[in-house]
Amino acid sequence: MQFGTSPNDAGFRLRGVGTAGGFSSASEQNVGTVVDNVVIPFGNPVSSLGDLERVEVLKGPQGTQFGKNAEAIAHLEAGLKDSPGKQQLLFQLGSVYIAQSDFKKALVPLELAFTEEPNYDLARTLYAAGLYYDGQTAKADQLLTEKFGSPNVDSQPVIQALYTTKKFDRLAKIYQTRLDQNPNDVQSIVGHAILNYFATGDGCRGSRAPKSDHPRRFSRSPDTDIHYANKQRHPQAVAL
């Protein structure tokens, strides 16, 4: 096994099989990578993982017959037989099923993890996320409101589920809460505007840009700003 570390050759090769240099971040790898039981189809995250507990090389094709996550599911289910009800394994198994869009199966371990410890916020938000993926919006809303007082919870599993299921109006409310707490946070301003656009077609409503030291720049039309920026960086492209 070999692993390239240069930008044009980052990825694993097994017995000479790998992805050609320069394409590792833009194409799916010939040698699949699984991190914490979830398939990483593009790029390679190894350099950003820090300390590794172990590295395993799995035999055979990338789960051709049963799907790419078949090996991960088998390992997790075997682990649950040894440690029934272990939350971390249940979280991971649910996440793997979600990664392959098998939401009905994902709900089984996520609900069990929540039942084991309903006061654990992560267990609640992961179960709610699974319900959103499965289209059980009312039940997910009730689950979150019982604990947090609102279904619009600023939690990564919930945000990812809302985005995937295109509930942009709900996401806009979460970003509005962020803006209320920090009105000058540029990331929240941009995110709120984009989500408002997806939800209503009006990306400017309710979002204000922070004050600038260069007011003339903000007074220009959007088209002028775009051409100005392009002219600075790519004068030949603008000339064409």
Q: What is the pLDDT of residues 69-112, one digit of tens each?
A: 666 777 787 888 888 778 888 998 898 889 888 999 999 999 99
Cα Rg of the chain, angstroms: 23
Query: At 90, is the secondary structure helix, strand, or coil?
Result: helix
Cα three-residue angle 164-26-159, rounded to 5 degrees: 20
Out of 58-67, 154-163, 168-177, least confident range: 58-67
Query: At 40, is the secondary structure helix, strand, or coil?
Result: strand
Alpha-carbon distances, residue 215 vs 37, 193, 208, 212, 227 (angstroms): 50, 20, 14, 6, 18
Which domains does the chain show, CATH number per domain?
1-47 (no CATH), 67-165 (1.25.40.10), 168-209 (no CATH), 216-240 (no CATH)
- Is the pLDDT reported for residue 44 higher than 80? no
Lookup: tokens for 109: 């371990």
**In this predicted model, what pLDDT tens digit does every residue of 137-161 receive, in sequence order?**
999 999 999 999 999 999 999 999 9
Out of 50-64, 189-203, 224-238, least confident range: 224-238
* Buried b / exposed e along 138-151 (16+ C-beta atoms within 10 A): eebbebbeeebeeb
Query: At 105, is the secondary structure helix, strand, or coil?
Result: helix
**CA torsion, points 67, 69, 70, 75, in degrees to nearest 10?**
180
State pTM to two decimals: 0.58
Average pLDDT, the chain: 74
